[in-house]
Amino acid sequence: MQKVVYQDLGLISYKEAWDYQEERLRELVDRKLKNRKLEPEDREQQRHYLLFCEHPPVYTLGKSGSLDNLLLDEEGLKREGFEFFKINRGGDITYHGPGQVVGYPIFDLDCFFTDVHRYVRFLEEAIILTVAEYGLQGMRMEGFTGVWLEAGRQLPQRKICAIGVHLSRWVTMHGFAFNVNTELSHFDNIIPCGIDDKDKGVTSLARELGREVPMDEVKGKLRRHFASLFGFEFSRNIL
Class of domain 2-234: alpha beta
- In the predicted model, is pLDDT for residue 196 greater than 70? no
Q: How many beta carbons lie within 10 A of that of residue 86, not counting itself?
A: 12
Active site residue 193: yes
What was the pLDDT predicted at 92? 85
- Residue 106's φ and ψ, nearest 5 degrees, are -110, 85
Say if CB 91 and CB 133 are below 8 A apart: no
- In the predicted model, is pLDDT for residue 237 greater than 60? no
Strands 144-149 and 138-141: antiparallel
Average pLDDT over residues 189-194: 72
Q: How many beta carbons lie within 10 A of that of residue 142, not counting itself?
A: 4
What was the pLDDT predicted at 239? 47
Strands 171-179 and 100-106: antiparallel
What was the pLDDT predicted at 64? 78
pLDDT digits (tens, 9 = 90+) for 66-83: 888 888 888 888 888 899
The chain-wide mean pLDDT, for the chain, equals 91
- In the predicted model, is pLDDT for residue 227 greater than 90? yes
* Dist. CA 2–CA 84, nearest whole Å: 35
Strands 93-96 and 2-11: unpaired
What is the widest separation between alpha-carbon atoms in the chain?
62
pLDDT digits (tens, 9 = 90+) for 111-125: 999 999 999 999 999
Which of 53, 111, 161, 193 is catalytic? The answer is: 193
- In the predicted model, is pLDDT for residue 197 greater than 70? no
The upper half-sphere exposure of residue 36, i.e. CA atoms within 13 Å in the direction of its Cβ, equals: 8
In the chain, what is the straight-line distance between the N-terminal and C-terminal CA atoms, in Å? 20
Say if CB 224 and CB 116 are below 8 A apart: no
Average pLDDT over residues 99-109: 98
Say if CB 234 and CB 4 are below 8 A apart: yes
pLDDT digits (tens, 9 = 90+) for 34-62: 999 999 888 999 999 999 999 999 999 98
- In the predicted model, is pLDDT for residue 4 greater than 90? yes
* Dist. CA 96–CA 59, nearest whole Å: 6
Percent above pLDDT 90 for the chain: 70
More confident residue, 229 or 86: 229
- Sequence-distant (≥ 6) Cβ neighbours of residue 223 within 8 angstroms: 6, 50, 234
pLDDT digits (tens, 9 = 90+) for 8-31: 999 999 999 999 999 999 999 999
What was the pLDDT predicted at 193? 65
What was the pLDDT predicted at 101? 98
Of 216, 218, 198, the closest CA to residue 208 belongs to 218
From residue 51, give the alpha-carbon distance in Å to each of 159, 163, 176.
22, 15, 11
Strands 232-234 and 2-11: parallel
